[in-house]
Amino acid sequence: MTLYRQDILDLAALETQLANSIRQTNNKSQLIEIDKTLYYAQRIAELRSARLTAMAPDYPDSGTGGGGGTPTPTPTPGDSMPAPNPNGSYAPTGTIVQVDFNLNTPQPDIAGWNSVYNDRQTVNTGGFTSTAGVQTSIYKMGRVNNTSDANGYGEPPNPPGSGVIPDAVLISNHVVIPGYTIDDRIGGLEVSYAYDITFYGSRMEDSEFTQFNIGSASQVLDTSHNTTRGVTFLKIRPSPMGIIYWSWLVAANTPTNGAALAAMVITEYQPA
């Protein structure tokens, strides 16, 4: 039996789920560290997950791609994204995909939004559903480098429902501490099309800034107490493999404790 990279990442994700399940069995009135048996079991599962994730790049890729946890294609030297073309002639296809970077499973899905669960972040999602309720080929590819944490400490809009995206989407975030860069990928895109990509993030903290990178372009989002702001990259063109690569991290030279990613919106355009 040959083990591929995605197999190892799937095993790591299972260990993360086990650690989360152990944590949830703990009496919520006390720290899990007090119950040494549960605590050690949780830590062992977390350490196994971390070790498997670190090992994954050493395993071969199957050479196939797609959603639903199937092996992720490894970018080849020729699979670089062309430059964005914001001044090109494009017409909207009507396909808009909204992605909620949600907490761990199980969490309720928000109507019109596709969840990327934190404890499944190393596994490919299935094809996303558009805001019109149509199944698409677009999917979120598993993260293969550093994994992020998640929390529900986004700023709640006041009054409720007044934020730029739904309250529950804005409040839940994937987060990363300074010193780490998260590499992310969206696959299943039409190579001849272009896409507007908008990112949102929010934290109940002062001085929180998140930097988003696509290709050579970078934008910084002030995520501190954010309920109204987002950043948009215009007319991004996928690689020959139909992939858009992006990364996010704590913005440089800012008094920031962490970077936050709450949501992304993908708007599709075809050549006019």
Interval 2-51: pLDDT, tens: 566 666 766 766 777 677 677 666 555 455 456 677 777 877 877 787 67
pLDDT value at 167 more than 90: yes
pLDDT at residue 59 in the model:
63
pLDDT at residue 226 in the model:
96
Exposure letters 219-243 (e unless 16+ CB within 10 A, then b): eebbbbebbeebbebbbbbbbebbb
Return the closest-CA partner of residue 114 out of 95, 129, 136: 129
Strand 181-187, strand 139-141: pairing: antiparallel
Tens-digit pLDDT profile for residues 72-101 = 444 555 688 999 999 999 999 999 999 999
The amino acid sitting at 71 is P
53 versus 18: the higher-pLDDT residue is 18
pLDDT at residue 34 in the model:
64
**Model confidence at 71, in pLDDT bands (50, 70, 90)?**
very low
Widest distance between CA atoms in the chain? 63
pLDDT at residue 68 in the model:
43
pLDDT at residue 144 in the model:
78
DSSP 121-184: TTS---PPBPTTS-B-S-EEEPP-SPPPEEES-SPPPSSTT-SSS-HHHHH-EEEE-TT-EEEE
**204 Cα distance to chain centroid:** 20
pLDDT at residue 78 in the model:
66
Q: What are the two backbone dihedrals, phi and then psi, of residue 36, each rounded to the nearest 5 degrees?
A: -60, -35
pLDDT at residue 63 in the model:
38
Least confident of 24-33, 40-49, 53-62, 254-263: 24-33
Count CB atoms within 10 A of the CB of residue 200.
Answer: 29
User: What are the Cα distances from residue 216, in Å, to 7, 80, 212?
Assistant: 32, 12, 11
Across the range 188-194, mean pLDDT stands at: 95
Q: Where are the alpha helices (DSSP H) in the chain?
A: 5-25, 36-55, 167-171
Q: State how far the Cα of 84 lies from the Cα of 109, in Å rounded to an integer.
A: 32
* Residues near 124 by beta carbon (within 8 Å), at least 6 away in sequence: 6, 66, 67, 68, 69, 70, 72, 139, 140, 141, 142, 187
Return the closest-CA partner of residue 173 out of 246, 249, 263: 263
Across the range 182-199, mean pLDDT stands at: 95
Exposure on the CB side of residue 128, measured as CA atoms within 13 A: 28
Return the closest-CA partner of residue 189 out of 109, 268, 115, 73: 268
pTM for this model (two decimals): 0.73
pLDDT at residue 18 in the model:
76
**Mean pLDDT, the chain, integer:** 84
Q: State how far the Cα of 20 lies from the Cα of 271, in Å rounded to an integer.
A: 45
